[in-house]
């Protein structure tokens, strides 16, 4: 009897493959590097904004400074003082082209064009120069000089008349026509060189406004005329003019 061969057995199935290993964890420094990169970019952005703001502030300050300098350097209007009538005569010149030697057109230092400088001499308490406002009268000049000395006759002086700049007032002088310097034959209507106004001197023959001003200037500078002959010392009075004035003036 033949042997029956054993039945063939299938081989056992192979074992399943092992599962894939989990992916390795990223390096611990990855997140930190990413976070560090974002922080650097954020800091750079903040720094850039601060720099821009600083530049804007500096530009605004510079513009304000330039504007202030331009405002301060702008042209300023200059007020021109009005020219008074008294000052307009300061530049008057005689016909020969020479400037007048002082007088009403040459104010004394420390005085304004609206003030008058008067010489008060003779029998007063404080003889000398006094400064009075425009429109002052002879009585104001006497008060400024301290008043007349006791016993002085003020009748020859018209205390109500207005004084003029550069005038000399002689207090206590003899009345015109009876002065000691005139002597016999002096006309009663002679003009006193020491008390005459510019208008009175201008009315004399051969004496105009310019020569009258020169006589007044000489009178102030030399504290009055001591004699009629001193008229020769006034610039512009020659022998011919003096001969015409000799019998018309007194001191």
Residue 74 has pLDDT above 80, yes or no: no
pLDDT at 23: 64
Residue 179 has pLDDT above 60, yes or no: no
Highest mean predicted confidence (pLDDT) among 54-63, 132-141, 226-235: 132-141
Q: What is the mean pLDDT of the chain?
A: 74
User: What are the CA-CA distances from residue 126 to residues 117, 120, 122, 237 (Å)?
Assistant: 15, 8, 9, 32
pLDDT category at 24 given cuts 50, 70, 90 is low
Mean pLDDT, to the nearest integer, of 181-208?
73
Cβ atoms of residues 133 and 107 within 8 Å: no
Summarize pLDDT for 26-64 with one digit per residue, the tens: 555 555 555 555 555 666 665 677 788 888 988 899 888
Residue 69 has pLDDT above 80, yes or no: yes
Mean pLDDT, to the nearest integer, of 92-108?
43
**What is the C-alpha separation between 62 and 32, in angstroms, rounded?**
45
Summarize pLDDT for 40-50 with one digit per residue, the tens: 566 666 567 77
pLDDT at 81: 59
Mean pLDDT, to the nearest integer, of 59-73?
85
Residue-wise over 138-152: b if at least 16 C-beta within 10 A, else e?
Answer: bbbbbbbbeebeeee
pLDDT category at 236 given cuts 50, 70, 90 is confident
Instruction: Label each residue of the chain as H, E or C.
Output: CCCCCCCCCCCCCCCCCCCCCCCCCCCCHHHHHHHHHHHHHHHHHHHHHHHHHHHHHHHHHHHHHHHHHHHHCCCCCCCCCCCCHHHHCCCCCCCCCCCCCCHHHCCCCCCCCCEEEEEEEECECCCEEEEEECCCEHHHHHHHCCCECCCCCCCCCCCCCECCCCCEEEECCCCCCCCCCCCCCCCCCCEECCCCCHHHHHCCCCCCHHHHHHHHHHHHHCCCCCCHHHHHHCCCCCHHHHHHHHHHEEC
Give the predicted TM-score (pTM) of the model. 0.32
């Amino acid at each position: 009897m033949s042997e029956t061969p054993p039945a063939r057995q299938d081989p056992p199935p192979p074992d399943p493959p092992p599962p894939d290993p989990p992916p390795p964890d990223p390096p611990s420094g990855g997140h930190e590097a990413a976070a560090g990169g974002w922080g650097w970019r954020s800091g750079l952005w903040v720094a850039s904004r601060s720099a821009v703001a600083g530049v804007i502030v500096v530009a605004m300050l510079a513009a304000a400074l330039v504007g202030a300098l331009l405002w301060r350097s702008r042209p300023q209007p200059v007020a021109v003082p009005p020219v008074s009538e008294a000052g307009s005569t300061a530049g008057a010149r005689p016909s020969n082209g020479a400037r007048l030697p002082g007088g009403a057109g040459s104010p004394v230092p420390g005085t304004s064009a609206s003030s008058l400088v008067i010489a008060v001499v003779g029998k007063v308490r404080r003889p000398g120069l006094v400064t009075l406002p425009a429109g002052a009268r002879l009585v104001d000049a006497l008060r400024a000089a301290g008043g007349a000395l006791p016993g002085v006759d003020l009748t020859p002086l018209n205390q109500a008349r207005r004084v003029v700049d550069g005038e000399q007032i002689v207090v206590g002088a003899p009345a015109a026509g009876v002065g000691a310097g005139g002597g016999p034959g002096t006309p009663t209507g002679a003009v006193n060189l020491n008390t005459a106004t510019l208008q009175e001197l201008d009315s004399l023959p051969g004496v105009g406004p310019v020569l009258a001003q020169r006589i007044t200037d000489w009178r102030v500078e030399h504290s009055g005329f001591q004699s009629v002959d001193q008229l020769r010392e006034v610039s512009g009075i020659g022998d011919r003019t003096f001969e015409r004035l000799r019998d018309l003036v007194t001191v």
